[in-house]
Structure 1
Amino acid sequence: MVFGKNTPTISQQNEREAEREDDDDVIEVVDEDQNQTQQVKKKPSPTDEKDPKKPLLTEVRYVGSGGSNAGGSKPWACNHCKGTFTSSYTRIHYHFFGAPVGTKAGIRRCETLLRDREKHEKLWRKVQDAENIGVSKALKNSVLSKNASSKKRIEESFAIMERHAVDMKIVRGLCANGIPFNVLRNPQFVEMVNAIKRAPDGYKPPSYEKARTVLLDECVRDVEKDLTPVKDTWYTQGVSIVSDGWSNVKHQPLINVLAVNSRGAMFMFAEDFSGVEKTGVEISKLLLGAIETIGPSNVLQVVTDNAANCKAAGREIEKVYKHVFWSPCCVHTLNLIFKDLAKEFYWLNHTYKRGKKIVKYFLNHTHALSIFRENSQLELLKVAKTRFASHYILLRRIMDCREALATTIVLNSWREWVKKGDENTKMIASQVVETIRDDNFWDDVGSVLEITKPIFLLIKFCDGEGSKMGEIYERMDNMMGEIKDVMKDNEYASYYPQVEKIVLARWEKMTIPLHCVGFALNPRFYDKNYLSKMAPGGIPRKAPNQDVEVVSGVMKTFDRISEDEEEGRVLRDQFATFHMKKGIYSMVATQADAVTMDPIDWWATYGSETPELAEVAKKVLSQLISSSSAERNWKPTTWFLFTRTFDSNLDFQIPIKPVRTKSGTSIPKACTYIEGSSSRLQEMAWENLDEEDMEDGNGKRQRLD
């Protein structure tokens, strides 16, 4: 038995009832002579159209002639949307207000009323008033009386319209103020919108003066409270002072100062050096002030670029605080290797210039570039000289575009375009074509990329976020071995001794005792499986304690960070316990976790037997090795809170301090905060350089010298 087989649904019942109304609008007429009630069909009359019980008839006009049935379907036109329909009075309701839930409307909605809420509400009240004074059978079954939920649907439809209007206001506000659409993803923006929704009636935004003074100061205090967990790690993990110079659009020479460790980077302040010579003494005063602010006992190193005045500033700092090391930026140092190689080897520099000429020609001629783009999914990259590893980046992209370049120069469209050019354009075009067709050029590009790739990969590693102090020493060793392996079968193998000399010369300038300590206190490098494998270059691996240079650096560090001889002796004894795997370090679990666990976590877990050494290890391993975090574009235009503009694990918003002049006073008004910074593009996203989505840019960076 099928239950409800012949039972109509509620929607079907509603439709049938509406159809019955449409077919017969019946009224009762009393005959005084016969005193009998007869049912007659009322003829349409002009008064019918103005019946207060059918107020919607005034919103339409009948066109043509209908049937003999007074109720029935008649052709009519809407006075609002001008649409023409044939239906009953019920469908007129549906046209203006929509059908009840579960009922097919059978007619489209009036678009004019959907867009005009004021008209819609006025008509809605008109129908409600008519029903209140005396509802006829037709109105009893109208949309208003039949289903109150239709009112909710109308309100929802207008809510959609209102939301769209608000959305447009927001987008126009963003466009008018040049605010990127990424702000819509910012949780702070969402919080702001929610706060405005909850605000009392009549709320007005704060004034310009109040926002930039009282409210900004309060906001800075709130953000500083949020950064308290980061500051708390300074006592346990130490901190590095990072600094680098740059210029804003007003050409003001500024120096950023940040406090960084493995938990995050905190912007401290920016110093304006306008009219002041950037000597080592002046820079050291700036950095010493930052050290005093943080607390000298929490600072392990000061990281700057490799300029001579920065090195002099480092010496001044070490005179005041012997436990604070000056550390040159590893990324800058490694980048100088590219420049040294280009100066030393003509073939490398010549190859780079030929490749650069190809890129420059296409980028300077839009029609040639258009022809190239039709045959390539990749863009040619014009990398600024100040960009790290610019030689490798440019040549790598040219190699990836080799096939597209070769296809471009054989096309008829290319030849016809070249013929139309002037003599200089034709001459350079012929040189470009000759270079692209030269197999020796492409062989040289391949050789340069093979030799320099290990350097590039190490730059990419150093320029990334996170604490790298425990790995940089070992990776430098590996880089040298990888270059040796590549040049064995390379046509330029005879140049390896010169390459090695250049790399080692830069390495000596870059390496500091802290690098040795980080290497020696990284438990992973004492693993038997690790030591059993050959290092790149065919060199046997050895534990850090067996490397004379490493042990020497460790002892120098222990001597500088110890307050007295006894403390230094304790550190040396505990270091012996650690690398000889005595006590807790001899346990199987301890040695197994040394390979899989983060070194900082490993020392926090197993360092209880050597507490003084564990404290040193956690602090050293938490430090960074480059000043790249200070060189990023810190979005200083109209934002009063800095956020990192590059992919990183440092998710904290940073409070801006006023830009200070050397006299100690704040720069007045608009210059009080670091506004109008140059729109330098983000430094090359190293994680994408091995893919096919590299981007062009014209970043600028200014050294402190």
Structure 2
Amino acid sequence: MTPPPPEFEDYDDGEEEKDYEPKNKGGLSQRKKARHKGPLDRFITSPPPNLLNARKERKGIFGACDKELREKTCRGIARFFYDFGLAFNAATLDSFKEMLELVGQYGPGLKPPTMHELRVLLLKKEVDGTKSQIVEYKKEWASKGCSLMSDGWRDSVVQKDLVNFLVNSPKGSVFVRSLDVSEVVKDANLFFDLLDKMVDEVGEENVVQVVTDNASNYVKAGELLEAKRPHLYWTPCAAHCIDLMLEDIGKISYVKSALQKCIFINGYIYSHIPLLNMMRKFTGGRNLHRPAITRFATSFITLAQFHRLKDNLRKMVHYDEWNASKWPKEA
């Protein structure tokens, strides 16, 4: 038998490692043998499993020092957010928490990455890592199937029609590519050819359904795709269906009249700053205009906000400041 390797002496002369004494059911402590640390232990970055609990259980002067140190650290993190104008919800990302954990494991003296490293070296490594993750997603596509999704939108700045293609599976969604379809999207046959090529790229045997908007050209392209590939299903986008339903509802005469009045009042209030401040005083700082992803959803959500705050708005037009102003005298 191979003899066990010799134990290394503890390299840390400043503090001895204490034994951990958990209690069994009978209340007696079971003393664990101290683990002897070797030279490679100084390079291990995994924190002890009870580190967080130990911090929470600190009391007295140690607890106060730990609280002050955390507050100082959090203020430094917050200052970085404020200086660069980062969105506060970035703090909810798992990558943000992972970053802080890795910085804490590294310890003092960390040299931060340079701008060149961020935009060239580290970015290339991250891209390579993402590609390796996609390989795992493709295995999921082959075993459980997937949905090919297209999300069309128009860039109003450069006047181009763009389509983002994504693949969704039980493992999650993956962005595939974004294409300029300005010369394709209006022709159902050309758009069908584009969808057909994307199915081949993802793998015909993997794709269960293709999800697109339900505009007339998309519907025709979906029908052509189902005719060529009988095992595929074309599915209209539910969000786009709801948007078109709201558009049709907005064409009803009394609904259309209410929306027009709502849009006029909203535009009038927001174009006069003193009136806008008065409105916010009566609505508790709430806004009337509630933007959404689509124009029709925005109109109906704003109309619902008017209905919700109608009593406050009625009080405003009976207010002395309103009656003394020029606004009630205007047509």
- Per the alignment, residue 185 of structure 1 pairs with 92
The amino acid of 2:306's aligned partner reads I
- Per the alignment, residue 262 of structure 2 pairs with 355
Q: SS at the partner of 1:179? A: coil
Q: How many Å apart are 1:258 and its aligned residue? A: 0.9
Decide whether aligned partners of structure 1 residues 170 and 402 sit closer, same or farther in structure 2, where only a CA change above 3 A counts.
Answer: closer
- Per the alignment, residue 324 of structure 2 pairs with 416
Q: 1:64-103: CA deviations, max 9, x gaps?
A: xxxxxxxxxxxxxxxxxxxxxxxxxxxxxxxxxxxxxxxx
Q: 1:219-278: CA deviations, max 9, x gaps?
A: 2443455566655443454321111223568646432111124552222222245x7453
Query: Structure 1 residue aligned with 2:247, among 328, 339, 342?
Result: 339
Distance in structure 1 (CA, Å) of the matches to 2:75 and 2:228: 59
Query: Structure 1 residue aligned with 2:165, among 231, 234, 257?
Result: 257
Distance in structure 1 (CA, Å) of the matches to 2:265 and 2:141: 50
Query: Structure 2 residue aligned with 1:241, among 124, 136, 148?
Result: 148
1:402 equivalent in alignment to 2:310: yes
The amino acid of 2:303's aligned partner reads L
Q: SS at the partner of 1:242? A: strand
- Per the alignment, residue 121 of structure 1 pairs with none
**Count of residues in correspondence between the two structures:** 269
- Per the alignment, residue 302 of structure 1 pairs with 210
Does structure 2 retain, via aligned residues, the 8 Å contact 1:318–1:324? yes
Q: How many Å apart are 1:390 and its aligned residue? A: 4.3
Matches within 5 A, 1:117-128: none
The amino acid of 2:310's aligned partner reads R
- Per the alignment, residue 125 of structure 2 pairs with 218
Distance in structure 2 (CA, Å) of the matches to 1:206 and 1:249: 36
Decide whether aligned partners of structure 1 residues 384 and 265 sit closer, same or farther in structure 2, where only a CA change above 3 A counts.
Answer: closer
Q: How many Å apart are 1:170 and its aligned residue? A: 2.7
- Per the alignment, residue 196 of structure 1 pairs with 103
Query: Structure 2 residue aligned with 1:268, among 159, 176, 179?
Result: 176
Query: Structure 1 residue aligned with 2:219, among 308, 311, 314?
Result: 311
- Per the alignment, residue 322 of structure 1 pairs with 230
Structure 2 gaps of 5+ residues are 1-59
Q: 1:177-196: CA deviations, max 9, x gaps?
A: 33223333333222222323
Q: SS at the partner of 2:167? A: strand
Distance in structure 2 (CA, Å) of the matches to 1:394 and 1:386: 12
Distance in structure 2 (CA, Å) of the matches to 1:200 and 1:382: 46
1:427 equivalent in alignment to 2:317: no
Distance in structure 1 (CA, Å) of the matches to 2:85 and 2:322: 40
Q: How many Å apart are 1:303 and its aligned residue? A: 1.4
Does structure 2 retain, via aligned residues, the 8 Å contact 1:375–1:408? yes
The amino acid of 1:413's aligned partner reads E
Does structure 1 retain, via aligned residues, the 8 Å contact 2:166–2:175? yes
- More relative contact order in 1 or in 2 (CA 8 Å, sep 6+)? 1
Q: 1:87-144: CA deviations, max 9, x gaps?
A: xxxxxxxxxxxxxxxxxxxxxxxxxxxxxxxxxxxxxxxxxxxxxxxxxxxxxxxxxx
Distance in structure 2 (CA, Å) of the matches to 1:334 and 1:153: 60
- Per the alignment, residue 173 of structure 1 pairs with 80
Matches within 5 A, 1:132-143: none
Q: How many Å apart are 1:414 and its aligned residue? A: 0.8
- Per the alignment, residue 205 of structure 1 pairs with 112
Distance in structure 2 (CA, Å) of the matches to 1:300 and 1:166: 50
Matches within 5 A, 1:622-637: none
- Per the alignment, residue 393 of structure 1 pairs with 301
Alignment identity in percent?
A: 26
Distance in structure 1 (CA, Å) of the matches to 2:98 and 2:258: 54
Distance in structure 2 (CA, Å) of the matches to 1:248 and 1:208: 30
The amino acid of 1:359's aligned partner reads N
Q: SS at the partner of 1:360? A: helix
Decide whether aligned partners of structure 1 residues 165 and 382 sit closer, same or farther in structure 2, where only a CA change above 3 A counts.
Answer: closer
The amino acid of 1:355's aligned partner reads C
Decide whether aligned partners of structure 1 residues 398 and 198 sit closer, same or farther in structure 2, where only a CA change above 3 A counts.
Answer: closer
Does structure 2 retain, via aligned residues, the 8 Å contact 1:360–1:382? no
Structure 1 gaps of 5+ residues are 1-151, 429-705
Does structure 2 retain, via aligned residues, the 8 Å contact 1:245–1:255? yes
- Per the alignment, residue 443 of structure 1 pairs with none
Higher Rg of the two aligned structures: 1
Q: How many Å apart are 1:314 and its aligned residue? A: 2.4
Distance in structure 2 (CA, Å) of the matches to 1:168 and 1:176: 12
TM normalised by structure 1 equals 0.34
Matches within 5 A, 1:142-153: none
Distance in structure 1 (CA, Å) of the matches to 2:248 and 2:73: 58
Does structure 2 retain, via aligned residues, the 8 Å contact 1:256–1:270? yes
Does structure 2 retain, via aligned residues, the 8 Å contact 1:376–1:401? yes
The amino acid of 2:329's aligned partner reads K
Does structure 1 retain, via aligned residues, the 8 Å contact 2:184–2:191? no
Distance in structure 1 (CA, Å) of the matches to 2:161 and 2:112: 35
Does structure 2 retain, via aligned residues, the 8 Å contact 1:241–1:287? no
TM normalised by structure 2 equals 0.66
Does structure 1 retain, via aligned residues, the 8 Å contact 2:210–2:234? yes
